[in-house]
Amino acid sequence: MRMPGRFLGACGRSWPAWFVQLVAVMALAAAPAASARGQSSSDSQSGNQQGQTNGQTGQQDQNAPEAGGPGGDSGAIAIPKKAEKPETPPPAPVQPKVTNPPELQNFSLKIDVPEVTVDVGVIVEKTGQFVPGLKPENFRVYEDGVQQKIEGFKRTEAPITVLMLCEYAARGWVFRVDMLNAAWAFTQQLRPKDFAAMMTFDLNTHIVSDFTQDKQQIRQGIDVLANEVYMPAAFSETNLFDALNESLDRLSRVEGQKYLVLIASGIDTMSKLNLDQILKRVKASRDITIFTISTGGFLQAVTEGTGGLMGGMRDLTFLQANNQMKTFSDLTGGMHFEPRFTGELPDDVKAMNDSIRAKYELVYRPTNSKQDGTYRKLRVSLVDDEGQPLRIQDEKHKPLKYDVIARDGYRARQEVE
């Protein structure tokens, strides 16, 4: 390395070679430090310039748009502004608190408005056919003579729950044969979804078949009785009233509408209950309709009016028995039949089946809402659009007589029930 001329001239002499090499080495060692100082100075200037730039950027950020993206081609990207929270609604006004006077205790009031459901069948007298197509406006319901407002109306045809109560005693094989024929004819009308049971009675009651949907069980029970129909029966007594009361108790434990088909002579001999007591029990029954078929009709026909003291007593006994059977059905809205020949049974049972399955269901709230346990008389009539008694005609425009079948009344509930 060659030293500058000013340095050499000032010294006025030449230096040894080793000294010159030493000075060169020291100069080389000092060069990185100077370079570092220069770079530091450059970084400082660059930092000052960057600070100024950042300051300008910060100033630009303050002027950036609130939302909506860049303000220009080279401007800053604005961050969307957070939605402002809605103002908190004012609190609801405090409800005034009502307190009872010190001498008045808290109490609750429960109002139970009763509803009455009446099943009504409209049957042509001559053919026993059900009359369809009636409207709510065609019905008038009277409770104790006061017309009621019908609030519910529909035609029902649903599976049934029925109990057959049959007399099987040593009164004579004619009565037993009539009972078996009537029971068999009614069983033929049962449908797959129907529930049916069968009981017999003499001095006591006997369960032939409990409630079942299998008609074969009912038929087997009838076949067993038929095999012994000409054999002497155990008892000649027929406790009709007690058997009917027991049947009503069994049906009362079944929910919904039930039917009781009573097939008997109608004669009672040794029951603990008398006629007034069983009629009171029938009136108090709920959701139970009784259909009755009197047996021994052919015997009554051939012996009626034969004269003599015994003949007169027999006729009077049968007359009273038939009236009792009819009363049971009338009180509950059922039907009564007195067939004298076996050939009448299919038509009688068909009319019974139509009355059971095809009905009009009326619902009303009685104007007398007292729950005092009193008996309320019911009457149902049919009227046309003008409020006049309804007239029914056949295809040839001939007037037809019809029967309106509904229960005679009902007993109001007691408040303690």
How far apart CA 229 and CA 258 sit, in angstroms, is: 29
| Amino acid at position 314, single letter | R
Neighbouring CB atoms inside 10 A of 322's CB total: 20
Q: Is 339 helix (H, G, I), strand (E, B) or coil?
A: coil
The number of residues in the chain equals 417
User: For the chain, how many helices (H) and strands (E)?
Assistant: 9, 16
CB 27 within 8 A of CB 20: no
Return the biggest CA–CA distance within the chain: 192
**Distance, CA of 374 to CA of 133 (rounded, Å):** 34
CA 57 to mean position of chain CA atoms: 76
| Spatial distance between the Cα atoms of 368 and 411, rounded to a whole number of angstroms | 12
Mean pLDDT of all residues belonging to the chain: 80
DSSP assignment of 48-73 equals HHHHHHHHHHHHHHHTS-SSSS-SSS
Least confident of 233-242, 263-272, 319-328: 233-242
| Predicted local distance difference test score (pLDDT) of residue 150 | 94
Residue range 307-318, pLDDT digits in tens:
666 667 788 889
Do 123 and 402 form a contact (C-beta atoms < 8 A)?
A: yes
Specify the DSSP class assigned to residue 105. -
Token pair recorded at residue 337: 């039949």
Axis-axis angle for helices 308-332, 275-284 (nearest 10):
20
Residue 334's SS3 state is coil
Q: Rounded to an integer, what is the distance from CA 47 to the centroid of its chain?
A: 86
Residues 162-177, mean pLDDT to the nearest whole number: 92
Q: pLDDT by residue (tens digit) across 386-401?
A: 999 999 988 888 899 9
Contact indicator for 208, 199 with CB cutoff of 8 Å: yes
DSSP assignment of 169-226 equals STT-HHHHHHHHHHHHHHHHT--TT-EEEEEEESSSEEEEEEEES-HHHHHHHHHHHH
**What single-letter amino acid sits at 221?**
G
200 φ, ψ (degrees, to nearest 5): -120, 165
pLDDT score of 49 more than 60 = no
Pick the most confident of 30-44, 165-179, 297-311: 165-179
Taking the CB of residue 116, how many other CB atoms lie within 10 A of it? 16
Record the tokens describing residue 404, joined without a space: 């309106």
Please give the pLDDT value at position 327: 95
Please write the tens of the pLDDT for every residue from 171-218.
888 999 999 999 999 999 999 999 999 999 999 999 999 999 999 999
Cite the DSSP H helix spans in 205-307: 215-227, 240-252, 275-284, 297-303
Residue 384 CA: distances (Å) to CA of 136, 140, 387 = 11, 10, 5
Residue 301 pLDDT: 85
Mean pLDDT of 29-56: 49
Q: List CB contacts of 317: < 8 A, sequence separation 6 or more.
A: 267
Q: Is the pLDDT of residue 140 over 60?
A: yes
Domains along the sequence of the chain with CATH: 1-35 (no CATH), 116-155+361-411 (no CATH), 158-357 (3.40.50.410)
Burial class (CB in 10 A: 0-12, 13-18, 19+), 221: buried
Percent of the chain with pLDDT over 90: 43
State how far the Cα of 347 lies from the Cα of 124, in Å rounded to an integer.
13
Using N-to-C axis directions, what is the helix angle for 215-227 and 173-188, rounded to 10°?
160
What confidence tier does 98 reach under pLDDT thresholds 50, 70, 90?
low
pLDDT score recorded for residue 139: 96
User: What's residue 1's pLDDT?
Assistant: 44
CA distance to 8, 200, 323, 324, per residue, from 163 (Å): 147, 11, 21, 19
Under the banding of pLDDT at 50, 70 and 90, the label for residue 405 is: confident
